[in-house]
Structure 1
Amino acid sequence: MDQASRKSCPETGMMRTWIEPVVASAQVAASFYDAGLLLVVKNYYNLSSFSNHTNTSTPRGASEDAQQKAISNFYIIYNLVVGLTPLLSAYGLGWLSDRYNRKISICVPLLGYLLSRLLLLLKILLDWPVEVMYGAAALAGLSGGFTAFWSGVMALGSLSSSKGRRSVRLIIIDLILGLAGFCGSIASGHLFNLLRVGNRQGVVLAVSSVGCATFAFLYSLFVLKVPEPEVKPSKAFGVVDTVSGTIGTYRTLDPDHPEKRGGVVELPSLGKGEPRKAIIALLFAGAIIYDLAVVGTVDVMPLFVLREPLSWNHVQVGYGMAAGYTIFITSFLGVLVFSRCCRDTTMIMIGMVSFGAGSLLLTFVKETYMFYIARAVMLFALIPITTIRSALSKLIKGSSYGKVFVILQLALALTGVVTSTAFNEIYQLTMDKFTGFCFALSSFLAFLSIIPIGVVACKQGEIAEK
């Protein structure tokens, strides 16, 4: 498209900067892949335990426990590979995207995703051993994985939004991710049983995942454009260079609406000294501790719903995964409402309390309806990490978004690996005596993560008084 065409069709050029089609298609592919992998692994070890059960006089309960431990051990290794391999490439991709092209940290991980989805399809069609999926995890991780991909997405989202609207802009991207995940998860259980090849299930689901991943990769490579950062200087009003929400609301701090800022007392810049560094460190600490709680719950949950007392089938598994994605919708609505009257730190703490309370309820789940009640209580669980990213973007230069977001994502990935391994081991040790122990531990960590955010709120108050 030449320059004259761009001028005559500005909407087309603007639409090409939207990251949402990439996020939606990649997440549908991920939802299909995650559900397919869990059900394929379950069937694989179910056949193994069934074979052992017919050859021996092992009680059914003992056979189910052995299956649970086998699935748990598979995911311990799988999550280690997924979490550790991005450490080798993600920061480099973030550096390259900052220096050369923002699309690098998006296109390369999507290529790795596509290859891993292909391996799941080949595993089903060729009846390969389930251990081949460790190779799929390694391919995705060495390509940057979710760490590099989501950092690139957040960098593009930050560049295409003003400071006052950035939290809303980033939560909209999260909303698209959640809606896509919800639809993909709802469909996954039904697609899993379509068009069996022999006794192999999941062919249509795996093909659909490959198709969506292919679209995401090709769209990001040939259609997506890097947006120009919005620069709207105002001579009448100074720039508030601090964490959004320190004084007033997102509306009053919105640089696109200066007429609404008349009654707001402006703050001095944090500068480059200790206050800025301390706030960044505390935000990182809050994000990491909170992520420990989230990973601990999310990684144990699939195992929990497969065994008694819930004992879900493949359709119920898909619905359960879809329920988890509804928090993207409710968190989006929460940000829209809370951002008008709350500081960033207040919104973060609301989300942490929401997740902690929901995890505590999961501890005592005995029936399916109780599971969904606990999920409903987690309605604002997505707000903390997204709002922390937005707050960090206010404290750093735009040219450093890629590196800083990658560092945060790598920190979350590394702690996630440790948490996943630890919680899977804890689950194996406690599933007979107290199945919900891991959820209780996650609840404690979620409430613990409020402490560093509370300190940030206090520091913001001190800065506001000066």
Structure 2
Amino acid sequence: MTSLWTALRRVELVVVLQQLASALFDTALQMVVKERCTASATTAPITEESRQKAMSDFYMTYNLLAKLTPILPAILLAKLGDRGWRKAPIIAPLAGYVMSRLVLLLLVLQGWPLEVMCLGVVLHGLSGGFCSFWAGVMTLVSLGSTERNRSRLMMRVELMYGVAGLVGSLASGHLFQLYEATVGQGTVLVSISLMLYLVCIVHSVFLLRVSVYEAVESEALLDGGCEVAAAAAGGSNLVNIALLLAGGILYDVAVAGAMEILVTFQMKEPLNWSATQVGYGNAAGFLVFLTSFLGVVFMSRCLSDVSLIMTGMVSFASGIYFMAFVTETYMFYLARSLTLFALIPMPTIRSLLSQQVRGSSYGITLTSLQLACKVASLAYTPAYTKMYQYTLDRLPGLVFILSSVMAVLAIIPISVVGCRSPQRSCHRRAEEEKEERRPL
């Protein structure tokens, strides 16, 4: 009973509920955007090109607002979290999620124009957005773990996030079509998403426990021979921090830029997916969380954190390159299968970043990575969108080739970090020495 109560108070439950709600919302938004962009063209001949341009323009504006508005609120919430209010970076964004999802629900029920969703995303952003929420989650994981198992614990949280997204995506396409004739498509789906977010807030306020592993600093001092650990004990390693940020930003540009266009690409001929197919496609993306977690569990026995990061980057680069030439649904899933380890790099980069600074700076350091990615998106989101529109008839997958190149470039700063650090972690060497000293 005690173990069950402890599990109920962990941050993983918040992540699961939040992602279930988010997966339902994503499918609902994707289908509503498709329907509204098709309906808006009723005064003129409806062409695939006009619909694709309308959808991509909407997502460009929507994504830019989602990434621009959280910048200042996320910084303030991160500082508030580092001063002891660790739940604030989690609870505030959840309140923003509720407001933005309520806007979509009203849009479906009242028939409001699609542009109203921009108000919803601004409300979400002003509450800190996903960058504040995820940085707050990872801060709690960092505080409650040792450097030895931090990468694995972060990847476990990513796994829970992915499994929840997988389940939510599989169900979302079917839920979207419920009560089509009475209250409109998507009403039930968005309502369930909204209720799950409300449960998240209640759990975070009353049940979520903030645990701090007090031996983090002393453990770093004991392992003084390791450069990464020594950085946490004696101050920030600015060179490693800069390299990790550079690699993280480049990789995020590659992944996020491609995923933003993929949402529109799925609605284009020859794919032209239905709501059910969209849900299955999103589920395939979330399945990567499971394969990435298994990759960390098994490959971490023989590979360093830096090697794990580069393995994940190569996996994504190969899969997204193949995506550029997808013309059939089965080819889409083949391309997805190549990205088996694509989710390994970012949580591992966050783990290495947290090892470069003291525990009192975890929140602002991890939030800085999230915000740097948001700032970068102000350039790549419109660039990817316009490139996709210009090459829509000739090679719409050109943006995916660009993402593949960006992922390969991200390997360079990460490999430099690997050259500056020991090939094996201090803990792993210590464990091997213990095994050698153990009598037969």
TM-score (norm 2): 0.92
Q: Give the aligned partner of residue 316 of structure 1.
A: 277
C-alpha distance in structure 1 between counterparts of 2:87 and 2:410, whole Å: 33
CA pair 396-319 structure 1, distance change in 2 beyond 3 A:
same
The question of whether the paired residues in 2 share the 8 Å contact of 1:162 and 1:230 is answered with no
1:441 and 2:402 aligned: yes
TM alignment of 1:350-389, pairs within 5 A? 350-389=311-350
Shift of 1:461: 4.5
TM alignment of 1:150-299, pairs within 5 A? 150-196=134-180, 198=182, 200-231=184-215, 238-240=222-224, 242=226, 276-299=237-260
The question of whether the paired residues in 2 share the 8 Å contact of 1:125 and 1:197 is answered with no
Shift of 1:159: 1.2
The question of whether the paired residues in 2 share the 8 Å contact of 1:116 and 1:137 is answered with yes
State the one-letter code of the partner of 2:245: F
> Which has the larger Rg?
1
SS at match of 1:131: helix
1:122-180 Cα offsets, whole Å, 9 max, x none, are 11011111111001100110000001100000000111111100001000000000001
C-alpha distance in structure 2 between counterparts of 1:355 and 1:298, whole Å: 12
CA pair 305-272 structure 1, distance change in 2 beyond 3 A:
same
The question of whether the paired residues in 2 share the 8 Å contact of 1:86 and 1:147 is answered with yes
The question of whether the paired residues in 2 share the 8 Å contact of 1:86 and 1:141 is answered with yes
Q: Give the aligned partner of residue 33 of structure 1.
A: 25
1:340-366 Cα offsets, whole Å, 9 max, x none, are 111111000000000000011001111
TM alignment of 1:322-341, pairs within 5 A? 322-341=283-302
State the one-letter code of the partner of 1:38: Q
The question of whether the paired residues in 2 share the 8 Å contact of 1:291 and 1:416 is answered with no
CA pair 458-65 structure 1, distance change in 2 beyond 3 A:
same
1:308-340 Cα offsets, whole Å, 9 max, x none, are 121111111111111111111011001101111
The question of whether the paired residues in 1 share the 8 Å contact of 2:147 and 2:216 is answered with no
Matching residue within 119, 132, 140 for 2:124: 140
Shift of 1:233: 8.4
1:387-437 Cα offsets, whole Å, 9 max, x none, are 000011111111111111111110112213322221111100111111110
Q: Give the aligned partner of residue 43 of structure 2.
A: 52
Q: Give the aligned partner of residue 250 of structure 1.
A: none
1:121 and 2:121 aligned: no
Shift of 1:100: 2.8
1:96-130 Cα offsets, whole Å, 9 max, x none, are 01103100000001000011111111110111111
The question of whether the paired residues in 1 share the 8 Å contact of 2:235 and 2:356 is answered with no
SS at match of 1:328: helix
TM-score (norm 1): 0.87
C-alpha distance in structure 2 between counterparts of 1:269 and 1:201, whole Å: 54
Shift of 1:17: 4.0
Identity %: 44
CA pair 396-404 structure 1, distance change in 2 beyond 3 A:
same
CA pair 226-186 structure 1, distance change in 2 beyond 3 A:
same
SS at match of 1:366: coil
Unmatched segments (≥5 aa) in structure 1: 1-8, 245-266
Shift of 1:229: 2.0
1:363-395 Cα offsets, whole Å, 9 max, x none, are 111111111011010010011111000011111
Matching residue within 2, 7, 11 for 1:19: 11
C-alpha distance in structure 2 between counterparts of 1:270 and 1:18, whole Å: 25
C-alpha distance in structure 1 between counterparts of 2:8 and 2:174, whole Å: 33
The question of whether the paired residues in 1 share the 8 Å contact of 2:319 and 2:337 is answered with yes
State the one-letter code of the partner of 1:281: A
C-alpha distance in structure 1 between counterparts of 2:132 and 2:309, whole Å: 24
SS at match of 1:405: helix
C-alpha distance in structure 1 between counterparts of 2:165 and 2:190, whole Å: 15
CA pair 243-354 structure 1, distance change in 2 beyond 3 A:
farther
State the one-letter code of the partner of 1:411: A
Q: Give the aligned partner of residue 436 of structure 2.
A: none
Shift of 1:52: 2.3
The question of whether the paired residues in 2 share the 8 Å contact of 1:243 and 1:392 is answered with no
Equivalent residues, number: 425
Unmatched segments (≥5 aa) in structure 2: 426-440
C-alpha distance in structure 1 between counterparts of 2:347 and 2:144, whole Å: 16
Question: In terms of mean alpha carbon deviation, does 347-356 or 9-18 score higher?
Answer: 9-18
C-alpha distance in structure 1 between counterparts of 2:259 and 2:217, whole Å: 43
Shift of 1:438: 0.4
Question: What's the C-alpha RMSD, in Å, of the aligned pairs?
Answer: 2.2
Matching residue within 420, 441, 451 for 2:412: 451
Shift of 1:47: 1.4
State the one-letter code of the partner of 1:28: L
Matching residue within 68, 79, 84 for 1:95: 79
Question: In terms of mean alpha carbon deviation, does 375-384 or 16-25 score higher?
Answer: 16-25
CA pair 77-27 structure 1, distance change in 2 beyond 3 A:
same
C-alpha distance in structure 2 between counterparts of 1:403 and 1:233, whole Å: 18
